[in-house]
Structure 1
């Protein structure tokens, strides 16, 4: 088969990406380039909103060049807020809207070369960032506990 025929067959069969499933999962890039992934719960937490500029600066200093991909499934106000803060830190930011992409991540920080980090979760990279608020039942002590110090 000639190169022209091979090219025509590849183009007619659909996608011509290397590992398209992995690229769909990581919003168009590869796992080996990932620095930090954030779930939707993490991305919408108030702790993350407060510490987002510091996260951006830390990652930008440690892994240049830095890119941020934002899921279109986040609310518009959060998308715009995060995009403004990332761009203020000098990070190239994209809101990814692939029709067939079904990523479980809200935010992805990545670079343009392989770094092969073993653990790219927020809990591992910034372990003290998201603090669990104590439950109200744990905070409240009954009258007798207060009285006898129990």
Structure 2
């Protein structure tokens, strides 16, 4: 017979968890479900914020449904932006609790089933967001046109 008080304590704490360290690292989900992640520096980057909608559209093609988890360590205005854009694209998005402060990630996009992704770092997958656009050719001045 099992100890009743032990069962009560386990149930009160949410039961037994599989891979609790992995879940803490990936903001409460398993690594096998993760489609992409962004570390804190990347999640706070303006270039990543500008390309966020295109990232969601690209990942939408791979699997459905998508879930977005946002770290509480991401800047507040960016948290709100990611939350709003995710909700507008019909994805479930949450800002996770302070329990996941040890996570190195600022943003995790995952599914509810295991997925195969060769590269999960969004900064590497969407590296074109960080490439500088070629400078447009500066217009020649009026003096150069006239005097060569």
Structures share fold, TM-score greater than 0.5: yes
Listed as ranges, the matches of 1:1-150 within 5 Å are: 1-2=1-2, 7-8=7-8, 10-11=10-11, 16-99=16-99, 101-131=101-131
List per-residue Cα deviations over 1:78-108 (Å, max 9, x = no partner). Answer: 1101111111111110000143651000000
Structure 2 gaps, min length 5: 135-148
The TM-score normalised by the length of structure 2 is 0.77
Structure 1 gaps, min length 5: 135-150
The worse-fitting range, judged by mean Cα deviation, of 53-62 and 97-106 is 97-106
The TM-score normalised by the length of structure 1 is 0.76
Structure 2: distance between partners of 1:23 and 1:68: 14
List per-residue Cα deviations over 1:45-70 (Å, max 9, x = no partner). Answer: 22111111111111123211000000
Query: Shift of residue 118 of structure 1?
Result: 3.5
Q: RMSD of the alignment, in Å? A: 2.6
